[in-house]
Structure 1
């Protein structure tokens, strides 16, 4: 059986206030094409199908288009809810959808009823574990302490292993795939994954997932391999500049007669790459080395000693999709440990103004012209006050 592993569609997420729906449509269409080309039997999607618990109508349309295309090609789907999803909304009409080979697992105990799909070697069991919020399910399991993701997923995986053991025989191995949405210890998060509990309680140990032939994980947006049988696919789109250098794609898993076979990575297209460009404003808008970023999403870091005027407008003349701007001068003034108030005590007005300009300009003092203007302004203020 050939299985495609994906996760974290986050349908409806914006990228710096810009819709990603059109880009996601392109990528999901490419995912369907890849599944057809590789004669895939099943697509598994491990949580965070939508980005919010209240998806808009056009967000549902993107998912419907993808599922319809997969169904028309005879490809089954098994998906679970993540911490961004509303399990109730995602699971609406899931019983009907399962009749068409679209299995949407959102109920808290969905893992106790594995989806059974068959190939020439017999059944493969798919144990989908939706995101389990301990505070919402602990009353259903009074016999177990449920205060962390580790405890919740340990309970679920114990049930999975018990079910596998009950089905095992010497003559017919039971092949299985588990799906979970969590943060496995050792995973590298970007700044986009939403912390799913508090105080570090979201971490789950790798050994929790012992048992199944393959474990398809979701929640982390970058590709990650913990073992041959435990992997993250990451999200199909980039949703943060911290993900700029991470590939986008899916894992293709081959389950043979006795269990896990080859696992291959397949890239998905990146509709608009991400670039972080660093330099002075003049360099960024004139130097040819930045040509390749002109049609990318751009995060600009300016190293000018003084903050340039209208920097974003000037950057967008070259980089139409520049969406963030930071100011990080090459050098920084050393102001010591004294506070600003302490440093300016008992200073004359000209000295005070000169010090303020130097402070806000990160060590760059006033020009001769500015000094003359300030002197004239102070003289006029002095004359006005003398006449009172």
Structure 2
């Protein structure tokens, strides 16, 4: 059978005030086109369909249409919730999903059987998926345990609970004539972050060893980390990565989806299919004169300016580079402040204190001082 593995769509993402909606629309259209070309038997969407737990109507419409379009290629579709998703809200969509022939699991339920999905390909190859949405540590580890355990013990307890949960979901993975798959949204020890994940849910407290997955699994389709990568484990374990770079920390990632070919009696063969529809992200550095010479105007830009700070500098950069979403002074030009005496506040005005701060940072521009004074006088009225 053939499986298409994707995750971390983050529909609804806004980058430095810039909506990514049109990019997501193109990316998901390309994903559906890849599914039409590859004709997978099964599509696994491993969580973080949305960027926020309260998606806009447009984001919801885009995700549901994409899932429907994937189903219409002839593939079975199994999608799970991630840490950015609202699990109960996804579960509320299950009647729609079931009517559309889509399996949707937003949050972990009490009944293990609810997370085990069976199916077969048009050619008769039987498959089983253990579908595990994101499970927060505060739900996996009871409050009384959290209070009594050290941080290290709580981390180990979370990993132990996840191991027992996956063991329960994969109890039937001993059938020799079936392809056994796992899809989950979690962090595996030893994997590399993509650069734009929410740090609170990727720290070690949420990391589990790859040994939580059974040796009988033919393939483990993971979401949560945005860099496509294979993880060393007792079976093939892989993150598909995000199909577009969601933040500047991911600009070096290669967006893609993963195609897996496997049978009950053969090992999984994995390949990446690039996703090229999104606008790339780039970090550039230089003086205004150097930035004016840039020809890469087809990317969203993070700009480090090699100029002395002054009022209006950001506007000058954005006039040169309309796609500059983030403008900063190059860190190499910012003096390191160490061991400086805390400014004496008594008897000094806010304007004086702010001026001293600017001087300490090498940013003593009169225009910036004037803007601060004007703002302070406005709010102090």
TM-score, normalised to structure 1, is 0.79
Q: Indicate the SS of the match to 1:33.
A: helix
Aligned to 1:7: 7
Cα 1:356/1:116, change in 2 over 3 Å = closer
> Partners in 2 of 1:177 and 1:257 — Cα distance?
11
Cα 1:259/1:156, change in 2 over 3 Å = farther
Aligned to 2:326: 324
1:76, 1:101 within 8 Å by CA — same for their partners in 2? yes
Aligned to 2:376: none
Aligned to 1:204: 208
> Partners in 2 of 1:108 and 1:273 — Cα distance?
35
1:349-375 residue CA offsets vs partner (Å, 9 max, x unmatched): xxxxx999864437x999xxxxxxxxx
Aligned to 1:339: 341
> Partners in 2 of 1:360 and 1:147 — Cα distance?
42
1:262-301 residue CA offsets vs partner (Å, 9 max, x unmatched): 211000114211110011222212x2xx212x23100011
Q: Indicate the SS of the match to 1:231.
A: strand
Aligned equivalent of 2:120, options 109, 115, 118: 118
> Partners in 2 of 1:117 and 1:355 — Cα distance?
69
Question: Is 1:361 aligned to 2:362, yes or no?
Answer: yes
Cα 1:158/1:223, change in 2 over 3 Å = same
Aligned equivalent of 1:220, options 225, 238, 248: 225
Q: Indicate the SS of the match to 1:84.
A: coil
Greater shift, 221-230 or 188-197, is seen at 188-197
Structure 2, gaps ≥5 residues long: 345-354, 367-381
TM-score, normalised to structure 2, is 0.80
> Partners in 2 of 1:137 and 1:10 — Cα distance?
24
> CA offset at residue 123 of structure 1?
1.0
Question: Is 1:175 aligned to 2:182, yes or no?
Answer: no
Greater shift, 47-56 or 212-221, is seen at 47-56
2:337, 2:361 within 8 Å by CA — same for their partners in 1? no
Structure 1, gaps ≥5 residues long: 343-353, 367-388
Aligned equivalent of 2:280, options 255, 273, 278: 273
> CA offset at residue 62 of structure 1?
0.1
> Partners in 2 of 1:224 and 1:199 — Cα distance?
18
Alignment of 1:1-388 (within 5 A): 1-95=1-95, 97-109=97-109, 112-113=113-114, 114-119=116-121, 120-137=123-140, 147-148=154-155, 149-165=158-174, 168=175, 172-196=176-200, 200-211=204-215, 212-227=217-232, 229-285=236-292, 287=293, 290-292=294-296, 294-304=297-307, 306-328=308-330, 330=332, 337-339=339-341, 359-361=360-362
Greater shift, 16-25 or 191-200, is seen at 191-200
Cα 1:272/1:116, change in 2 over 3 Å = same
> CA offset at residue 100 of structure 1?
3.6
> Partners in 1 of 2:338 and 2:141 — Cα distance?
53
Greater shift, 307-316 or 201-210, is seen at 307-316
1:134, 1:152 within 8 Å by CA — same for their partners in 2? no
1:73-116 residue CA offsets vs partner (Å, 9 max, x unmatched): 22211011111111111122414523543000134147534211
2:26, 2:277 within 8 Å by CA — same for their partners in 1? no
If you compute each CA radius of gyration, which structure gives the higher value, 1 or 2?
1
Q: Indicate the SS of the match to 1:164.
A: coil
Cα 1:307/1:162, change in 2 over 3 Å = same
Cα 1:95/1:196, change in 2 over 3 Å = farther
